[in-house]
Structure 1
């Protein structure tokens, strides 16, 4: 999918297919890819260092790899040598603001959110937003922090959402405490109740969080794959994928 705003394309590869996140205007400084269900990711069993090593032939290493232990929170760490493997700091987001370092996150129903900006200087933010992260608004917090910097320009900032589990397939029991937090937090447009089940549109809520934090609608791109429905190309925890993960990898050229 290409246009005047942020876009994506699915690239076939004998090593492992991937989604390429594409900024507009031919911007080439950002490398941002989500590696889908495939041969390399099947072999890696969700281990980030192993995932990266299996991709070295098509994508040579650009630096140490930051691969935080994801805990469904809101902390975002800066990509640095001290945070790189074998260290596994607890966080659900990584900020890249320089060349020579790589960042990664892993997914199996939770939503990847990728933000790239040229102002006040080039940077990439990778976020892991599952149900709890969406309730806690990791996306809105990260965008506000980014745009609060002196010289930040929303017109030079783009965001991509997904793929993650779709609204038809993500539900929780109404009497669970975290379900009540979601009912209180989410827009009513992103909630549907069916008896004791409450369905949540995580992707729709993340899109709202991006807009509310200052990213224009035209600067947001959603990937319309559902990890549960499209289990032939995506890993889904709710479909039984306990170890394997989609692998989000990024760096700046």
Structure 2
């Protein structure tokens, strides 16, 4: 069953929410934006939430405000980082609340993962093919969100996020729920030897068997490879101590579904960005 459920409401952006989390945990909000329901013009039409593309700043800010209105939390709760495809994770306190929502300069700098225990903070990260990783510890009431492109994945940002939750909040990996959100799938993600060699190194480090490796990466006749970043991150989450029964994995591919999502790869780089969000009310 697809964990990211599409929600269409009149005069609001189309959103994909993690209902299997939000229904039992009423304090939680978590999900992923679509490309529909905003004010941006082509090629960023319409719900572009990325300030770093060539869209009009006022349009991006309005789109982010529309997201906040649809989620039902104040705009000043939504907190953004300046992502760099690394594995650095920030602990977000009330001092950082609302950073980056209206400018890149005010964002939490050079971070690709974010964790907090603070109520009223919504963690946000931006995507257009990379893998969004959501974390929720219902015992310690802690949340996390990470951005895992191929670089962040092989740098094991999932482990970095879980380790920091454990160290900072006393979370136990066995209590943490994780969700892997819409991103480019193995159906569409072709990579070269440089990327493939890094992936094979990681698979070797976690002692993945040959048949397990084939679920992550497959060599093509043209010498390139098809890569499943979602499955790679699922394996890394399990390696970090998350129970497989506590991991939700989307079936949605951003490249296959440009009717719903922006895709950097499919659209040649000239496109918008979605936002993954998670917060505690």
Q: Same fold (TM over 0.5)?
A: yes
Say whether the 8 Å CA contact 2:131–2:147 is kept in structure 1: yes
What TM-score results when the alignment is normalised by the length of structure 1? 0.87
Deviations 1:176-229 (A, max 9, x none): 3x4422232235231111132111110000000111101111100111001111
1:218-233 matches, cutoff 5 A: 218-233=245-260
What is the aligned residue count?
246
Q: 1:143 aligns with which of 158, 162, 185?
A: 162
Say whether the 8 Å CA contact 1:34–1:247 is kept in structure 2: yes
- 1:17 matched residue in structure 2: 14
Q: Residue 77 of structure 1: CA displacement? A: 1.1
- 1:39 matched residue in structure 2: 37
Gaps in structure 2 of 5+ consecutive residues: 52-59
CA–CA distance in 1 between the matches of 2:164 and 2:121?
21
Runs of 4+ in 1 over 6 A off after TM superposition: none
Q: Does 1:191 align with 2:191?
A: no
Q: Secondary structure at the match of 2:67?
A: coil
Q: Residue 24 of structure 1: CA displacement? A: 7.4
Say whether the 8 Å CA contact 1:115–1:124 is kept in structure 2: yes
- 2:198 matched residue in structure 1: 181
Gaps in structure 1 of 5+ consecutive residues: none
- Shift in alpha-carbon separation, 1:8–1:243, aligned structure 2, 3 A: closer
1:84-233 matches, cutoff 5 A: 84-85=99-100, 86=103, 87-88=106-107, 89-119=109-139, 121-148=140-167, 151-174=170-193, 176=194, 178-186=195-203, 187=208, 188-189=213-214, 190-194=216-220, 195-233=222-260
Q: Secondary structure at the match of 1:95?
A: strand
CA–CA distance in 2 between the matches of 1:113 and 1:82?
24
Deviations 1:25-70 (A, max 9, x none): 7111211121112122734532364432123443241644321111
CA–CA distance in 2 between the matches of 1:135 and 1:142?
14
- 2:55 matched residue in structure 1: none
- Shift in alpha-carbon separation, 1:97–1:166, aligned structure 2, 3 A: same
CA–CA distance in 2 between the matches of 1:168 and 1:191?
11
Q: Does 1:55 align with 2:92?
A: no
CA–CA distance in 2 between the matches of 1:151 and 1:77?
16
CA–CA distance in 2 between the matches of 1:204 and 1:51?
31
CA–CA distance in 2 between the matches of 1:12 and 1:248?
17
Say whether the 8 Å CA contact 2:144–2:278 is kept in structure 1: no
CA–CA distance in 1 between the matches of 2:68 and 2:141?
25
- Shift in alpha-carbon separation, 1:250–1:151, aligned structure 2, 3 A: closer
Q: Residue 101 of structure 1: CA displacement? A: 2.1
Say whether the 8 Å CA contact 1:44–1:50 is kept in structure 2: no
